[in-house]
């Protein structure tokens, strides 16, 4: 469902011409009523459409309205209220990365101006409202991405550690197999970030990554909640697919993560430390222009080290969804809270360190994505520089 006029690129829309004052006022207020219904009501978002394809999302910024004949000079004196500039009206939806606000419109009764006065003018649409199509695409993307992470990455766990797997005979060292498994698991996440999933939703595929971007004010709480729910659903689907390995899957408990012999308390510390390394490493790469494009390459090396060192303590989940899926399929709930508390605590500590103690370490996080940074068809991944530029334009 489209709202407003066709997008002209970079968030700029041609403001449609109004024929007369009364129709413009009707259009203006009826659009706002529809917008409120669409935003606040799930039924409205699904079924309602704006009253016209030409309902403006914004009026012209700093346009001087006047009753001027077609292609002719204005008939109003320069000090007339009809010549009072109008500011752009931009609507932010609840799924935007910035809080809602409306720009003030001066003299809305004079918003109607003829086609010639508007044809060359454009106004900035800073962020649009997330429509149902975008909602489903982003939700489906995160669900598929997390399912792939569990199905493919978990398969490496099953193959490398099932007692009857030939890999256990080829590579006798458990430590070496842990490092190999971590490298392959991290490679799976990196490839997902490079794929359509990363292009569409950013490939968070981990609730704590979404949490970190929300803390960084790069996602709204509504969109973050949608991401997290989709990730948990995807993890369950991916873990269910692991059962196709049959006896190998059962022997490894569907790649479930459980606390090691040192107990749940030490496992929490292990998960906290591992997730701290994940968030700090991720934000350091994303925050530097030179390293940003290599962010997906971080995960194979990082997880090879983390799994090699930390897996005997907690299994190195760093992802509540990655633990919930196998736990639900294998019916293993021993220490489940470890993988909720540890990653969450590690994310919070990492965010505090990066933003309060060592802000110079990670630079500026511009967008809530791991790759495909410029791809933003629904205008929900807004950078701070872009938002600032729009407001100052």
Place of tokens 């390459």: 297
Contact indicator for 301, 308 with CB cutoff of 8 Å = no
Place of tokens 């995160």: 142
Contact indicator for 340, 320 with CB cutoff of 8 Å = yes
Structure tokens at 284: 């350091």
Query: pTM of the predicted model, to two decimals?
Result: 0.67
Flag residues of the chain having pLDDT under 70.
Answer: 1-132, 382-393
Helices 320-330 and 207-215, packing angle to 10 deg: 150
Q: Which of 240, 210, 247 is nearest to 225 (CA)?
A: 210
d(CA 342, CA 320): 9
Domain locations along the chain: 12-124, 132-377
Q: How many CA atoms lie within 13 A of 84 on its CB side?
A: 11
Burial of 102 (0-12, 13-18, 19+ CB in 10 A): exposed
pLDDT tens-digit series, residues 55-110: 333 333 333 343 444 334 444 444 444 444 433 333 333 333 333 333 333 333 33
Q: Which of 352, 380, 384 is nearest to 365 (CA)?
A: 384
Q: Quick one: fold of 132-377?
A: Glycerol uptake facilitator protein (1.20.1080)
pLDDT tens-digit series, residues 339-385: 999 999 999 999 999 988 888 777 788 899 999 998 888 777 754 44
Q: Please count the other Cβ atoms lying within 10 Å of the Cβ belonging to residue 276.
A: 21
Q: What pLDDT was estimated at residue 124? A: 32
């Amino acid at each position: 469902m489209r709202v407003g006029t066709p997008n002209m690129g970079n968030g700029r829309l041609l403001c449609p011409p109004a024929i007369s004052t009364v129709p413009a006022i009707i259009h203006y207020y009826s659009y706002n009523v529809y917008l409120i219904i669409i935003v606040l009501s799930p039924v409205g978002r699904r079924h309602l459409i704006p009253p016209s394809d030409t309902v403006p999302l914004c009026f012209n910024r700093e346009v001087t309205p006047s009753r001027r004949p077609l292609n002719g000079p204005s008939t109003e004196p320069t000090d007339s209220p009809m010549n009072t500039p109008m500011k752009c009206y931009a609507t932010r939806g609840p799924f935007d990365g910035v809080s809602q606000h409306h720009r003030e419109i001066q003299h809305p009764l004079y918003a109607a101006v003829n086609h010639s006065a508007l044809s060359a003018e454009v106004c900035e649409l800073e962020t649009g409202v997330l429509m149902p199509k975008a909602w489903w695409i982003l939700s489906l993307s995160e669900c598929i991405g997390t399912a792939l992470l569990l199905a493919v990455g978990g398969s490496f766990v099953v193959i490398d550690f099932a007692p009857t797997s030939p890999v256990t005979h080829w590579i006798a060292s458990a430590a070496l197999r842990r490092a190999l498994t971590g490298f392959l698991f991290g490679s799976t996440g990196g490839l997902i970030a490079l794929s359509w999933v990363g292009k569409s939703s950013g490939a968070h595929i981990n609730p704590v990554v979404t949490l970190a971007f929300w803390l960084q004010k790069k996602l709204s709480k509504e969109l973050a909640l949608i991401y997290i729910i989709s990730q948990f659903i995807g993890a369950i689907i991916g873990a269910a697919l692991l059962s196709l390995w049959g006896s190998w899957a059962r022997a490894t408990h569907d790649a479930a993560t459980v606390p090691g012999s040192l107990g749940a308390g030490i496992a929490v510390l292990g998960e906290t430390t591992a997730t701290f390394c994940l968030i700090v490493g991720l934000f350091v790469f994303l925050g530097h222009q030179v390293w940003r494009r290599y962010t997906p390459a971080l995960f194979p090396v990082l997880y090879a080290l983390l799994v090699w060192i930390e897996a005997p303590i907690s299994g190195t989940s760093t992802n509540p969804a990655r633990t919930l899926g196998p736990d639900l399929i294998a019916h293993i709930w021993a220490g489940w809270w470890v993988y909720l508390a540890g990653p969450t605590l590690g994310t919070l500590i990492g965010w505090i360190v990066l933003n309060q103690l060592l802000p110079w370490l990670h630079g500026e996080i511009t967008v809530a994505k791991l790759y495909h940074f410029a791809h933003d068809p629904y205008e929900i991944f807004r950078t701070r520089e872009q938002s600032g530029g729009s407001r100052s334009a």
